[in-house]
Structure 1
């Protein structure tokens, strides 16, 4: 029997992402990817602190004393959930617009390469993230006061209400991500629902509204609940999708009191039960969860799961989740089955962590073939 991934690769050859129209927002960061020095060998060479646990032990030793931790920036790149997701989607050459915190009043140079494939509109100064990367995860140290300026009022002032209505009336997808770091995003959603949605046409095939909370742990329980309860109000005009990584999914379930806290804390609730309960509670069209080695989703009350192309030592991990999100929504927009959309999501992130860049459409298809043949 032919492998599902090869069937999908053949199917995708006959799809055309260039026909799609997308709008992504609203954050924006300049990311510096950083390694933490363990031992300095000479002026140019050093060994790394390889794990978060090693760094934690070093920091713990300094309690009541002091210590020096050397950080070595390796690359400066596009950051923020929105720009990374947008950049990944832009590799497939759809008609795509990004609205967000890209520098103000002018766009920061780090985002300028996106202009080749994306229509960029800035509404605020970008944030900055020091991304400390390790073999077992990453620590993202953010400076984000400027995201206080990402508001509905600034959006309308900078972009125009009529222009926004016209853009959203013809789009196949609106993505609003990084909720946890944008203080006024819930307010923006409320005003979009009240002031923009009534002017949008009803379509037989609804455009996707994709939301990513982006580690909501630091936000208050009532804030999280208010935002999530609002999502169902977009269903009148959109197919609403919430994306979560594994940690976020268990944290959100805890905040919503869907299971007992101890079971969630120790991740004793199965992914299927977790996914299904989140879907039932939120009453939206899709909840997708992406651990590092697999992914799953519930659509139309049905649970789907697929294993992924896990790699122990990625070349770049910051942005892997955003690339999964890009690949997953691409699959949905191309009319693929939910399990196939999971595979396009994991293939996109799988390519990204191995090559430190997002795949073009032909590369995405080839990655699926190589994955089938154990060549990745």
Structure 2
């Protein structure tokens, strides 16, 4: 039987409503933007389709000047955490979000989450102009307010006792967008010292998921320090690090796992890269999601599956966060790692085609139709 058909059938018998999940800590208002190549009239234009084409136009303006017209198409909830949270909320678990959703009150953009998610906000949200192209996206962020995402502000907003109670009962604690949260490493360190010793030791450990979110702009020593802290969480959690393809090669370069030129040119095979990252970091799982496939190493064993690639997505911003939500959902529901990869790619595959995350029935139906060649 096709693995996608089998996994779809297994999912259809699961109940995600029984899960307890905590997600944090960033928050952005995203404006999805197209860049104008030629304007036809007041309503119509031809957009610049590729990052390379935009880059060439910018280079030509060097020493001169140029005007680049931006056309906002959608204003929506942004940030890795809220997007991942919204994707998980489609399956109706017991869900809590903590982070930068507006201060002193929650921004109106995020209030749509309140029906399905318990919200704690302790910082003003950031703002992102997301320039979308057929070959990727440019995320232009304004994020100074995220400096207020601190351990102290978190405890003040949630309450230490309540925070500990939530962690004691959760199945997943997801911390994403490390690169844009300057104080997240400090938060992890203080949690490891103050909170981890209090948490119960469980045979079936809850998951601790981390997504660095393009750490290139952070100093190498900061990246090493943050990754080193993750090992401390392995005592009480099953620790998962999520990376896209670029991030995986960048992190391997920072950790000096392979020869520099091979990493910069992405010549190291994905399997070797994935295995060495998990081995070096000493955590339970490292998952990598290129555009056309995904892979993971769980306790030293490598898994890889090809995905439902689409050349012209309806919406690409948030695809990685939807993959993360789907992959972790698969693990939470007891799927094998290779099946969880399929769940992740089906979630992101549905999202980029429909500009929204799938409900639970839509998720396993999409996986089945993918296997049948209907998408």
Q: State TM-score, norm by structure 2.
A: 1.00
Deviation digits for residues 101-158 of structure 1, max 9, x if unmatched?
Answer: 0000111111111111111110100000000000000000000000000000100111
Report the CA distance between 1:300 and its aligned residue.
Answer: 1.8
Q: Which runs of 4+ in 1 moved over 6 A?
A: none
Q: Report the Cα offset of residue 334 of structure 1.
A: 0.3
Match of 2:85 in 1: 86
Cα deviation digits, residues 294-341 of structure 1 (max 9, x gap): 000000210000000000000000000000000000000000000000
In the alignment, structure 1 residue 282 sits paired with structure 2 residue 281:
yes
State the SS of the aligned residue for 1:336: coil
Deviates more, 1:198-207 or 1:93-102: 198-207
Unpaired stretches in structure 2, ≥5 consecutive residues = none
For residues 171-186 of structure 1, the aligned pairs below 5 Å read 171-186=170-185
Within-5 A mapping of 1:233-252: 233-252=232-251
Q: Which runs of 5+ in 1 are unaligned?
A: none
Q: 1:218-253: CA deviations, max 9, x gaps?
A: 000000000001101001110000000000000000
Q: Distance in 1 between matches of 2:297 and 2:50?
A: 33
Question: Residue 343 of structure 1 corresponds to which residue in structure 2?
Answer: 342
CA distance in 1, matches of 2:119, 2:154: 13
Equivalent residue runs for 1:133-144 within 5 Å? 133-144=132-143
Match of residue 167 from structure 1 = 166
Measure the CA separation in 2 of the matches of 1:169 and 1:230: 20
Post-superposition shift, 1:202? 1.1
Which residues in structure 2 correspond to 1:95-110 (within 5 Å)? Answer: 95-110=94-109
- CA–CA separation in structure 1 for the residues paired with 2:274 and 2:161: 38
Q: Distance in 1 between matches of 2:314 and 2:108?
A: 24
| Secondary structure of 2:127's aligned partner | strand
SS at match of 2:201: coil
| Equivalent-residue separation in structure 2 for 1:46 and 1:359 (angstroms) | 31
How many pairs are equivalent? Answer: 375
The DSSP-based 3-state class of the residue aligned with 1:236 is coil
Name the SS for the 2:96 alignment partner.
strand
Indicate the residue corresponding to 2:226 in structure 1. Answer: 227
Cα distance between partner residues in 1 of 2:11 and 2:247 = 31
Q: Does 1:41 align with 2:1?
A: no
- TM-aligned CA deviation for residue 374 of structure 1: 1.1
Q: How far, CA to CA, are the matches of 1:289 and 1:98 in structure 2?
A: 24
Q: State the alpha-carbon separation in 1 of the partners of residues 37 and 157 from structure 2.
A: 46
Which residue does the alignment assign to 1:255? 254
- Which whole-Å deviations, capped at 9, do the CAs of 1:161-180 have from their partners, x for residues lacking one? 10100000000000000000
Instruction: Name the CA distance, whole Å, in 1 between partners of 2:12 and 2:63.
Output: 61
- 1:371: which partner in 2? 370
Q: Name the TM-score, length of structure 1 as normaliser.
A: 0.99
Q: Deviations over 1:166-217 (max 9, x none)?
A: 0000000000000000000000000110011111111110000000000000
Aligned to 1:53: 52
Residue 294 of structure 2 corresponds to 295
After the TM superposition, which of the residue ranges 138-147 and 155-164 deviates more from structure 2? Answer: 155-164
Match for residue 267 of structure 1?
Answer: 266
State the distance in 2 between where 1:341 and 1:315 align.
24
Instruction: Determine whether 1:152 maps to 2:151.
Output: yes
Q: Distance in 1 between matches of 2:304 and 2:63?
A: 47
What is the CA–CA distance in structure 2 between the aligned matches of 1:300 and 1:199, rounded to whole Å?
26
RMSD (Å), alpha carbons: 0.5
Partners of 1:338 and 1:369 lie apart in 2 by 18
| Matches of 1:97 and 1:19, distance apart in 2 | 14
SS of the residue corresponding to residue 7 of structure 1 reads helix
